Every structure is written in C-alpha cells, then in structure tokens.
Amino acid sequence: MSEGSTTELLRLENLTAGYGDGVALDGVSLAIASGESLAVLGRNGVGKTTLLETIMGNTRLHKGKITLAGRDITRLPPHARVKAGLGWVPQEREVFPSLTVEEHLTVIATPGKWTVERVYEAFPRLGERRRNYGNQLSGGEQQMLAIGRALMTNPRLLLLDEPMEGLAPIVVEDLSARVVALSESEGLTCIVVEQHPIVALALSRNAIVLERGQIVHTARSEDLAGDHETIERLLGVGEGGADEGANDAAARTQAG
C-alpha cells in the first residue's frame, strides 16, 4: 500500500523507542488500513505496551516516523495526537472514584458521531450506571467506561491495551463482542494488545507477534488461530479456550 493511499490510516516506519536510553521497540514498521482491526501479541515484556505508548507519544522515540491519515504526527505531544484522531484506552483504565460515569464521558467530549447517548447504545450497562461513581463500578464496567471515554474523543483509531485483563470469562465474552461490533458495525479501526491469543484473535482481523521489540510474525487472525504450532512456538501457550485466557488474565492480576 502506498503512503497517502485513501484507505491507509496509520503507518509506522522503522520505529525504535524505549525509556531513557533503553530500546524496547526495535525497528517496527507496519501499515494499517482504515476499518482494520489488529491484534498485537507476544509474551510478557516483548514491547506490546511500548508499541501503543509510542504511537501515543509517551515513550522516548530514537528513530522512525508515524503517519496518521497522511499526516506526520511523529513530533506531536500526546494531547495533540488525541486531537489528530488517536483514542487511548490505557491498561490501568484510569477511572476516577470521584467522577460519575456520565462525568467521565462528558469531561473530554469532542464533537462528532460519538455522543453520550451513542456510547450508552454501544454499552447499555454504562447507561444504567450513568449516575454511579467510578469506585462503584465492577472491573468490566470500568473497562467499558475507559473505552466509552476514548470514543467520546471521536477517534479515527482506537488503541486498547489489554482490555480483558483481570475480567471474568463471561465479562470477557461480552466485552469482546462489543469490541468486535465497534470495528465491524461502526467501522472503527482498532489496535488491541492482548496477552492471550485466543481472546485477541477472535476479535481482530489481522495479527502481529512481537519478540524483543520486533515483529516476528504477521498473519490473518483466523489463520493464526488455527496455527497451533506457531502459537505454541511464539507465545508459549497450548490450545485453550477464551475461558482459559480470561482465567490466566485474572490470575495475573491477582498475582500483582
């Protein structure tokens, strides 16, 4: 795909980034088309979060270029990247105990197709909880709120960092269906970082696997889901259902 093509939304060229002088992301290049959903997979500490943080402008960039919808955003500060069309759902969720659901959604709203009412349509549970405070929400509700809040900035591209972490299997199932609906029905372009391949591959069209800050495998998600040898080799997990993934995530969270 050529740069500036009408369907290309994000292009990363040779991104090398990290924290201080350290390099956690090493020469990553990829292009994402508008409407695509991409899963970023890999074992612990391989640079998945760093990839999203670098797209957002939260790491030290040593080298490389980031283009969003034909615009070079490489040097923009994070808040300007949100304005340019990046929606950020951080791993920590960052839900505030003293704000209600509705206050979380309205405080950063940007005019566009996503309004509070549309977020409640996509996540009816949030509508039911609109007057509840952040600390009165379950983990799943907090995650929905983190996604809803990002939608309120009317992004072109939504970046989700381990959205299923610590959630019960039934909640993972529900939230996965809603994330799929965002990309399939709403046409929203998404990048999802996820530890467990079964969960991530079910909600994405394409996938990359990172190892030591580099892309070592690229595939269509449905192909990789059936490629047990590659999953075992690169991710070190055997066959297992979404339930296993969610339980792993819950165990990780409980362990710290």
Ligand X SMILES: Nc1ncnc2c1ncn2[C@@H]1O[C@H](COP(=O)(O)OP(=O)(O)OP(=O)(O)O)[C@@H](O)[C@H]1O
> What residue ranges bind ligand X (CB under 6 A)?
19, 22, 24, 42, 44-50, 195
Q: Which residue has the tokens 């299997």?
A: 169
What residue ranges in 69-211 does DSSP mark as E strands? 71-72, 86-89, 157-161, 189-193, 206-211
H or E element: which one contains 64? strand 60-68
Query: Min. distance of Cβ 48 from ligand X in angstroms?
Result: 4
Q: Please, which residues bridge with residue 32 across strands?
A: 10
* Residue number with CB closer to ligand X (67 or 195): 195
* Residue number with CB closer to ligand X (6 or 255): 255
Residue 76 CA to residue 67 CA, distance in Å, equals: 11
Query: Min. distance of Cβ 179 from ligand X in angstroms?
Result: 18
* Most distant CA pair in the chain, distance: 48
Query: Min. distance of Cβ 199 from ligand X in angstroms?
Result: 13
CB of 208 within 8 A of CB of 30?
A: yes
* Residue number with CB closer to ligand X (15 or 122): 15
CB of 194 within 8 A of CB of 44?
A: no
* Residue number with CB closer to ligand X (19 or 96): 19
Query: Min. distance of Cβ 91 from ligand X in angstroms?
Result: 7
Query: Min. distance of Cβ 177 from ligand X in angstroms?
Result: 23
H or E element: which one contains 200? helix 197-202
* Residue number with CB closer to ligand X (43 or 130): 43
Query: Min. distance of Cβ 159 from ligand X in angstroms?
Result: 13
Residue 177, judged by CB atoms within 10 A of its CB (0-12, 13-18, 19+), counts as exposed
Query: Min. distance of Cβ 55 from ligand X in angstroms?
Result: 12
* Residue number with CB closer to ligand X (126 or 250): 250
* Residue number with CB closer to ligand X (33 or 216): 216
Which residues are CB-neighbours of 147 under 8 A, at least 6 positions away? 89, 123, 158, 160, 163, 178, 179, 182
Other beta carbons less than 10 A from residue 227's beta carbon: 16
